[in-house]
Structure 1
Amino acid sequence: MGHFYVFEFKRKQRRRFLFALLLIILLGAIIGYFSTTYKKSSAEETALMKGNEKEKQIALTFNISWGDDKVYGILETLKKHNARATFFVSGEWAERHPHIIEAITEDGHELGMLGYRYKNYLEQDIEQVRKDMIYARNVFSKLGYNDIRYIRPPSGLFNKEIIELAERIGLDVIHWSINTNDWKNPGVEAIVKEAKKASNGDIILFHASDSAKQTKNALEAVLPHYKEKGFSFATVSQIKDGVMAEEKIIE
Structure 2
Amino acid sequence: MREAKALYALFLMVIIVTASLHQYSLDLAVNGAIDRPIYLIPTSEPAVALTFDISWGEKSPGPILDILKEKQVTATFFLSGPWVESHPELAKRIADEGHEIASHGHRHINYSPLSRAEIISEVTASKEAIKRVTGVDIEFIRTPNGDYDAEAISAIREAGLTAIHWSVDSKDWLNPGVDQIVKNVLTEARQGSIILMHASDSCQQTAQALPQVIEGLRRKGLAIKTVGELYTLYRNRKPPLAR
**What interval of TM-score do these two structures reach, taking the shorter chain for normalisation?**
0.7 to 0.9
* Counterparts in 2 of 1:144 and 1:53: CA distance versus 1, 3 Å: closer
Partner of 1:195: 185
Residue of 200, 212, 223 corresponding to 1:221: 212
One-letter identity of the residue aligned with 1:97: H
Q: What RMSD in Å do the two structures reach over aligned CA positions?
A: 1.5
Cα contact 2:43–2:233 (8 A) shared by 1: no
State the identity %.
Answer: 36
Unmatched tracts of structure 1, length 5 or more: 1-43, 245-251
Q: TM-score, normalised by structure 1?
A: 0.76
Cα contact 2:127–2:137 (8 A) shared by 1: no
Residue of 51, 54, 73 corresponding to 1:83: 73
Partner of 1:232: 223
* Counterparts in 2 of 1:242 and 1:221: CA distance versus 1, 3 Å: closer
Secondary structure of 1:241's aligned partner: helix
One-letter identity of the residue aligned with 1:96: S
CA distance in 2, matches of 1:214, 1:131: 34
Q: Which protein shows a greater Rg?
A: 1
Find runs of 4+ consecutive structure 1 residues off by over 6 angstroms. none
Unmatched tracts of structure 2, length 5 or more: 1-33, 236-243
CA distance in 1, matches of 2:168, 2:131: 30
Cα contact 2:48–2:192 (8 A) shared by 1: yes
CA distance in 1, matches of 2:176, 2:75: 23
With 153-162 and 134-143 compared, the bigger mean Cα shift is at 134-143
Partner of 2:197: 206
Partner of 1:95: 85
Cα contact 2:92–2:133 (8 A) shared by 1: no
Partner of 1:71: 61
Residue of 43, 47, 54 corresponding to 2:37: 47
Q: RCO higher in 1 or 2 (8 Å CA, sep ≥ 6)? A: 1
